[in-house]
Structure 1
Amino acid sequence: MKVATFFIVGLLVHIVFFISIFDIYFTSPLVHGMTPQHVPLPPPAKRLVLFVADGLRADTFYKPDVNDTIRAPFLRAIMEEKGTWGISHTHVPTESRPGHVALIAGFYEDVSAVAKGWKENPVEFDSVFNESRHTWCWGSPDILPMFAKGASGDHVYTHTYPAESEDFASEDASKLDSWVFDEVKAFFNSAKGNENLLSKLHEEKNVFFLHLLGIDTNGHAHRPMSKEYLENIVLVDTGVSEIVSLVEDFFGNDGQTAFIFTSDHGMTDWGSHGAGHASETLTPLVAWGAGIQTAQRATTHLYQDQHQKEWNLGTLRRVDVNQADIAPLMSSLIGVPIPLNSVGVLPLNFLNNSQHFKAESMFANSIQILEQFKVKMTQKKETTLSFFFTPYPVLTEEKQEEFLQHAKSLIHRGLYDEAILLCVEMITQALEGLSYYHTYDRFFLGCSVVLGFVGWTSYVVLVILKTHASLRKPPGNRQLMSNEGLGRVFLCMGLAIVAFLLVQASPWTYYIYCLLPVPVWHAVFKEIGTLLDLIKSAPSLPLCKCFGYFVLVTFGIELLVVSFFYRAMLSLGLLLLSLWPLLSGLHIKATTRSLTWALSCLCLAVFPLMPVVGRESNVHLVTCAAALTLFNTIFYLVSSRRLSPLPRKDRQLFICQIVHVGLCAYVLTSTHASLQQKQGLPLFNQLVSWTTLVVSFFVPLLSSTRLFQRLMSILLSLVSTYLLLSTGYEALFPPVLSWLMFVWINMEQEAMSAGTLSKTELFRIDFSENIDITKIRQLKLDDIRRSYFFVFFIITAFFGTGNIASINSFDPASVYCFLTVFNPFIMGGLMMWKVLIPFVIVMCTFETIQVSTQLSSRSLFLIVLVISDLMALHFFFLVKDYGSWLDIGTSISHYVIVMSMTIFLMILSVMTHILTSKRVFVGKKMKVHFK
């Protein structure tokens, strides 16, 4: 197979393996075709007002300050006198869109929503707003439109401020909440002179939704313990008080309004959210008004946890709920059907109504979830052969009918408490049944993917043995079966799989996952002769050395796998790597380089022990990183004058890049100073930042293609951008990593048993020159170590500073030099490039080692591919769908990260080849030098 063909096939295979995880674990849980369930009794409220304080933490809201002053006196008074309070437990990911969907639609959204964006519904879903008669919404343009788009008819009215208002650099983001409160006041004032609107407002089943984004924005910009964040809570409490008085006065204090105050997610101490820390998953919930239970006091202090003791709320009954439970609560209060796809369970402790009403409401809740179960079961039954179909045993059709008759009988006889318990039991069973059918095909698809994975890895190993290893090939017939016969066997297998999937009316993606192993294993069996050659050559191989490498690589892979859970394992790995010269004997002939290697490994080992990026900002460390980079560059320029003098143009380019690094350090410092003084992002700084980002891709192409000269140019260009995206110690990571990479290049020259280049010759290697094909050598056992080092350094580059260690390590302050107005896609793109910069540094080093050790670029990369695929297969088996949401999300994200890394490596290998070997000459005519 040609190199280009192999690359394309390998890329497609890994993309299929990557996408498979979304079909197996990330499919939408929604089904359609259910019947809305109505409660036959009149509801307690005519209207509902929902306040969502975006990004509000439960502990910050409930806990008094150091002077025992209550930050939200109005809502505190409600909790103590008029309403019921508790904790709303959110699910991962703790982001705005999933949180609002759980609150208002009652289900936990799948990851496809994030892939489709925040303003578009990947699937249509029902919501409390859709079931209402009219809903008026005020707030963010990122949240409100999705509920209007998903609503049938034209009864959800949205009022949003411009997207530009969501500016992290604004003097005070609480103006977003002030805008909402002012608009609501203006709305009700204008309604008094509008008969049509007045008529709508006095109808039943109306909802008013106030989305308050100021707290979240201030938390991102200034941290949750900041004055801005805490004062924003006071402003929100005052605003809620004013709106409550306004609404009650407008409707003549008829006692028919229910109020709910909550949050979509919390926030970490360092101003981020997305993961499963308690500060992100515990959000406040306060409800009062029509149909809501009033405060229940206890004579003794009852603490559910340490938090409640700190909040001085021991004498008030606390009612905790899952976030999705709030949707059926709102539906019950105003008498609309529970959203069709809701998985929430009505929290009866919040209701102040008769037991009859509670029983009827729970019965409607159970039927609504049972309807989803029935549709899911019918769909799976229709797409599965009857003799293969295994129904959920706990909830057969007979048991469903028995439940319906029994529940109705209990309610009819007035045994409401028993009916409620029966309905709760039925809801539990129906939810478990929904999960059963949702994951019905998971084992089948998983086996197909694993079979394809193992086949692909086996094929790559055989290719390495056949084309890149020096195996003695004994004569003899190495074919177990003719190619024609083999082709027929696998063709029949493919046709059988197609027929099986056709009969079951399987989705088209199933054909890809199930058929992919067929050609892969066909290719493996065609190369089986190579395996036979290896077996016959076994007596002539250094078996002890082979076994030693096998044990070391296996241990190394396990260490990398564990490092995904515990970053400190990377520090242990770097400590072991520092001993390499001592264990291999290199310290004898290269004492100075061995000491430098050990020192650079130990310096890099410090980073995984540090807290994840984002918790602490320190601009001074960024300045130190710039100074360290400049020192390394100047040291290189001085030392290279004797070994490989720089041409005048290259020296000028280096000087310009050095000045540019200093300018970027100044831009970062001045930007953060300007934002601290609340003067906004200076235009000059923004222009420099975006210009730096763009030119960083092209400036290295202007430098010489000599090995170290090109590498230094690439480093300066990348570090300039990295500095602008840094907030603290992580800015030191690229310079230290680059130091280790330069030492690695030199150490590999010492490790070569033959053909070692002198330091002068190493300086004179030119990336653009084609390697003499006669000098390209076969793979050796030591190349396994080189490949493992590369994978280890890639993982270290990935997790070294915690940039992707968890989703909540993202700090919006990292992109303030580029923009301060909230834009998730541009911000995400900038952060992704920040993550990739250390990747590129390691990739360029690996490209250098391939050139300097006289190996074809394909040889080492094939070993890297095998190691990466073994890690990915490892994580595939670690994926689980039980336990906490954090455990489930973490296990899936690890597989996605490893598969993404493998695909990125394949693409980055092409990019780094261009970055190191191509040159643009600027003169009368600009041309790209291809050699």
Structure 2
Amino acid sequence: MLGHNDFFILAGILVHCVFLVSIFDIYFSSPLVHGMTPHQTPLPPPAKRLVLFVADGLRADSLYELNSNSTPRAPYLRSILENNGSWGISHTRVPTESRPGHVALIAGFYEDVSAVAKGWKENPVEFDSVFNESKYTWSWGSPDILPMFAKGATGDHVYTFCYTAESEDFGAQDAAKLDVWVFDHVKSFFNSSRSNQTLFSALNEEKVVLFLHLLGIDTNGHAHRPNSREYKENIKKVDEGVKEIASMIDNFYGNDGKTAFILTSDHGMTDWGTHGAGHPSETLTPLIVWGAGVNYPRKVTSQKFEDNFLKEWKLENLKRLDVNQGTLPLEYLNNSAHFKAESMFTNAVQIVEQFKVTKHMISLCKTLINLALEGLSYYHTYDRLFLGLSIAVSFVGWTTYVILVIIKTHTNLTKAVQTNNKESTVLFYGFAFVGMIIAFFLLIQTCPWTYYVYCLLPIPVWYAVVFSFFYRSTLTLGLFVFAGWPVITQLWVQAKTSALIWTFLCVLLAIFPLMPVVGREPNIPLVIFTYLVWDGRDPYIYYMLSIALSTYVVSSTHDSLKNKQGLPVLNQMISWMTLVSSSVLPLLSPTFLFQRLFSILLSLMSTYLLLSTGYEALFPLVLSGLMFVWINMEQEALQHYGLSLKPKLAVFNFTCATDITQFRQLHLDDVRRSFFFVFFIVTAFFGTGNIASVNSFDPASVYCFLTVFSPFMMGSLLLLKVVIPFVLVSCAFEAIQVTTQLSSKSLLLLVLVISDIMALHFFFLVKDYGSWLDIGTSISHYVLVMSLTIFMMLMNGLAQLLTTQRLQLSRRTKHHST
């Protein structure tokens, strides 16, 4: 049977799980609607077919700028924009990622933000696209992009030809081979059609789309940076490939003048080889269009833009036509005013159709588009305030309930006044009646079942009751304040050495949040320096050999990839073996406090070094040093306040720390301990970057384990890297709980209160717009606090279930060892 404590933990976990998932229903529901009446322009189009080249990760300046000898980097495309077509910059919208970029280009709308919580490769929500409206579409390229358009198409007319996922290797000699694969397969495809009458006839139909997804530039940019020789050479190869394909297609169709060509990019790339946020290097992409229905180049005497690229590119006399990704580029069309008007009207009516599915309306034609978009936004966020208030009420109720539990069970204050049975009955039926009214309201609104959970959750919760996270530099300020803690509390008088070390390590740790986000430039010598700092710190030779081996693997892997020799198989095997062993080895060490903590630290350090590329390798070293001093300082604090005699930490054994008779009541200083823990957890997560920032993630971090592009595996390794400092802080906090003779549930309840107050604050600051960095950071603030709460409660519950068995195993092991 579950006891009161077990029930409390189980209820807390369930309530916080609801809090955690609620943001995805409230903020990240899909704005897409279905069942619209399709509309098409009644006039005949100027082109029978479209050839779309998307050079993934290509920056506008990288394509348009001239080489050092004043020659064009892409001669063929330069000649096109000067003599045959129109050109400009396509302004992509954040998040600047491949998926939303291609959705905007091909489907004509900005990415569904609900995809943050769903699959990356394929959107579970079906959407219409140019491919779906074509007679036939053939596409070649990455298995990460092509399938999501084929899966959303109706019928069987969108065909994909993808290379294997293993081909996307950041450690390969030259990622341009991905683009060469596409060009070769397109040429083979057209050659084969000459002996295949069915295919030949299909290719000569109207409304044919040929899509060439070129991933080489993006891959080389991630691996070598956009200013590298590899990135620039890849642009040249794409230029040559586009020239060959365009010439071949014109010849295939007998130069009938019915083919339109587009070359553009889904997003750009930063100088350090990442994308996802809103820097101009990520949002400014090239757009070159030529062929049927496209305007020829137009000479101008002057033109003004906010940037100064035109003079730098030597293109100031050619009309530059900028567009927003996903909108109709009217200025590019070479057609009658009638055709342009019909096209714009069709575009407006298509947007109105989306709104009409949600709510009927009548409007003037002049304001049609704006009203329709405003209406879509209104009904998409219609339930947000109602659901948000429900979750907020639940937060406040739960937090109040926990505070009452603390007061009643863990302090010497007067217990709350008890209600009699009659009053309890009235309260129960009163809350039940309110719940029935809310349920009836939701029922007549035909709301989803999740709405019942969010809106009814405040009822049982209330019945039981009757900015440093946005700017990493503010963590530095907090650590400086922590550094003065021994002085403020006079602890330095009795613990001068520990206080001095505490102050030094706090100041040292405060440096990390001020440093650039991890992922800009690898610094392998700094990783090696970390090993030299560790050398000789542990009496067990195995740990030092493991750390030395990890350091060697990092260095040799970096050199091998730099020389384009790929990831050595031996290094890869050692890396994975180290990762697996690091989770087992600490359990084999003695359970004495410092020996066990050192074993955990050094085991995890081997894995952390394999995932490091620069200064962050020093972070767990400084953090763990501060944690060891924290444990000592808390013993001094106990004696300082006269709460208990200071136990001897040198002989303290974790397996002998469960005597409940030694537990004491909560003291005001325990609130400070809980706050320290929450602050150190946040510092552990954000000290060297942000878990949510795709823009700060450098693929080089996982090169010791794999170089082939694998979002799930790379994401898991990145998560492990972020979790390791969190584990170090959690272990230190566990040691503090048992050595300060305090029930783990007592401090858990205090952490619950602090975390829930923070979580409620972040709940209202969640963003569903902007870059992956903006959206992800706001989510991670909320998820971090909620996950911390759930994790703490889970660990507390598991400890109660496993305490006896673990003690028996420990005694048996100790008996055999003697």
| Shared fold (TM-score, shorter chain, > 0.5) | yes
| 1:737 alignment counterpart | 623
Structure 2 CA distance for aligned equivalents of residues 286 and 520 of structure 1:
59
- Matched to 1:348, the amino acid is L
Displacement of 1:676 in angstroms is 1.1
- Matched to 1:426, the amino acid is L
| 2:740 alignment counterpart | 853
Structure 1 CA distance for aligned equivalents of residues 9 and 362 of structure 2:
55
Q: What SS does the aligned partner of 1:315 have? A: coil
Give per-residue Cα distances to partners, 1:269-303, cap 9 Å, x unaligned: 22122222222222211111111122222113533
| 2:390 alignment counterpart | 448
Between stretches 454-463 and 799-808, larger displacement belongs to: 799-808
Give per-residue Cα distances to partners, 1:787-821, cap 9 Å, x unaligned: 11111111111110004262211111111111111
1:203-352 equivalences under 5 Å are 203-325=205-327, 346-352=328-334
- Asked if the contact 2:476–2:510 (Cα under 8 Å) also holds between the matched residues in 1, the reply is yes
Pair 1:185–1:587, CA change in 2 (3 A) = same
Displacement of 1:917 in angstroms is 11
Structure 1 CA distance for aligned equivalents of residues 541 and 769 of structure 2:
57
Structure 2 CA distance for aligned equivalents of residues 665 and 185 of structure 1:
47
Structure 2 CA distance for aligned equivalents of residues 271 and 717 of structure 1:
31
Q: Within the alignment, does 1:823 sit opposite 2:710 as a pair?
A: yes
Pair 1:166–1:699, CA change in 2 (3 A) = same
| 1:599 alignment counterpart | 504
1:471-870 equivalences under 5 Å are 471-473=413-415, 482-525=423-466, 562-631=467-536, 633-634=537-538, 637=539, 654-752=540-638, 753-754=641-642, 758=646, 761-804=648-691, 806-870=693-757
Displacement of 1:758 in angstroms is 5.0
Displacement of 1:84 in angstroms is 1.8
- Matched to 1:483, the amino acid is S
Displacement of 1:775 in angstroms is 1.5
Give per-residue Cα distances to partners, 1:27-63, cap 9 Å, x unaligned: 1111111111011101010000000111112222222
- Matched to 1:464, the amino acid is I
- Asked if the contact 1:693–1:721 (Cα under 8 Å) also holds between the matched residues in 2, the reply is yes
Structure 2 CA distance for aligned equivalents of residues 263 and 145 of structure 1:
18
Displacement of 1:629 in angstroms is 2.5
Give per-residue Cα distances to partners, 1:45-82, cap 9 Å, x unaligned: 00000001111122222222344332112112222222
Structure 2 CA distance for aligned equivalents of residues 442 and 901 of structure 1:
25
Structure 1 CA distance for aligned equivalents of residues 332 and 795 of structure 2:
55
Give per-residue Cα distances to partners, 1:615-655, cap 9 Å, x unaligned: 01011111111222334x24xx5xxxxxxxxxxxxxxxx22
Displacement of 1:911 in angstroms is 7.8
Give per-residue Cα distances to partners, 1:333-376, cap 9 Å, x unaligned: xxxxxxxxxxxxx2211111111001111111111110100102
In structure 1, runs of 5+ residues without a counterpart are: 326-345, 379-396, 404-421, 526-561, 638-653
Pair 1:57–1:835, CA change in 2 (3 A) = same
| 2:400 alignment counterpart | 458
Between stretches 903-912 and 616-625, larger displacement belongs to: 903-912
Structure 1 CA distance for aligned equivalents of residues 77 and 83 of structure 2:
10
RMSD across aligned C-alpha pairs, in angstroms? 2.5
- Matched to 2:230, the amino acid is E
- Matched to 2:440, the amino acid is A
Q: What SS does the aligned partner of 2:557 have? A: helix
Structure 1 CA distance for aligned equivalents of residues 686 and 90 of structure 2:
32
Displacement of 1:881 in angstroms is 5.9
Q: What SS does the aligned partner of 1:293 have? A: coil
Displacement of 1:907 in angstroms is 4.3
- Asked if the contact 2:276–2:772 (Cα under 8 Å) also holds between the matched residues in 1, the reply is no
Pair 1:832–1:64, CA change in 2 (3 A) = same
| 1:426 alignment counterpart | 368
Q: Determine which of 115, 122, 125 is the counterpart of 2:124.
A: 122
Displacement of 1:480 in angstroms is 11
- Matched to 2:370, the amino acid is T
- Asked if the contact 1:705–1:919 (Cα under 8 Å) also holds between the matched residues in 2, the reply is no
Displacement of 1:910 in angstroms is 6.5
1:908-919 equivalences under 5 Å are none
Q: What SS does the aligned partner of 2:174 have? A: coil
Structure 2 CA distance for aligned equivalents of residues 908 and 62 of structure 1:
56
| 2:335 alignment counterpart | 353
Pair 1:477–1:99, CA change in 2 (3 A) = closer
- Matched to 1:161, the amino acid is Y
- Matched to 1:682, the amino acid is P
| 1:557 alignment counterpart | none
Pair 1:757–1:236, CA change in 2 (3 A) = farther
Pair 1:167–1:789, CA change in 2 (3 A) = same
Displacement of 1:893 in angstroms is 4.7
| 1:145 alignment counterpart | 147
Pair 1:427–1:477, CA change in 2 (3 A) = closer
Displacement of 1:831 in angstroms is 0.4
Q: Determine which of 36, 39, 45 is the counterpart of 2:38.
A: 36
Structure 2 CA distance for aligned equivalents of residues 576 and 398 of structure 1:
60
Displacement of 1:306 in angstroms is 2.8
Displacement of 1:206 in angstroms is 0.2
| 1:383 alignment counterpart | none
Q: What SS does the aligned partner of 1:521 have? A: helix
Give per-residue Cα distances to partners, 1:375-406, cap 9 Å, x unaligned: 0226xxxxxxxxxxxxxxxxxx342xx53xxx
- Asked if the contact 2:58–2:217 (Cα under 8 Å) also holds between the matched residues in 1, the reply is yes
- Asked if the contact 2:512–2:688 (Cα under 8 Å) also holds between the matched residues in 1, the reply is yes
- Matched to 1:428, the amino acid is N
Displacement of 1:771 in angstroms is 2.5
| 2:77 alignment counterpart | 75
Pair 1:750–1:298, CA change in 2 (3 A) = same
Displacement of 1:599 in angstroms is 0.3
| 1:88 alignment counterpart | 90
Pair 1:508–1:351, CA change in 2 (3 A) = same
Between stretches 117-126 and 100-109, larger displacement belongs to: 117-126
Q: What SS does the aligned partner of 2:359 have? A: helix
Q: What SS does the aligned partner of 2:580 have? A: helix
Q: Determine which of 398, 409, 427 is the counterpart of 1:467.
A: 409
Displacement of 1:8 in angstroms is 2.0
Structure 1 CA distance for aligned equivalents of residues 281 and 233 of structure 2:
19
Structure 1 CA distance for aligned equivalents of residues 459 and 67 of structure 2:
65
Structure 2 CA distance for aligned equivalents of residues 59 and 912 of structure 1:
58
The structure with higher relative contact order (CA 8 Å, sep 6+) is 2
Structure 2 CA distance for aligned equivalents of residues 661 and 237 of structure 1:
46
Pair 1:916–1:754, CA change in 2 (3 A) = farther
Structure 2 CA distance for aligned equivalents of residues 575 and 914 of structure 1:
40
How many equivalent pairs are there? 811
Structure 2 CA distance for aligned equivalents of residues 928 and 506 of structure 1:
62
Structure 1 CA distance for aligned equivalents of residues 797 and 442 of structure 2:
38
Pair 1:269–1:100, CA change in 2 (3 A) = same
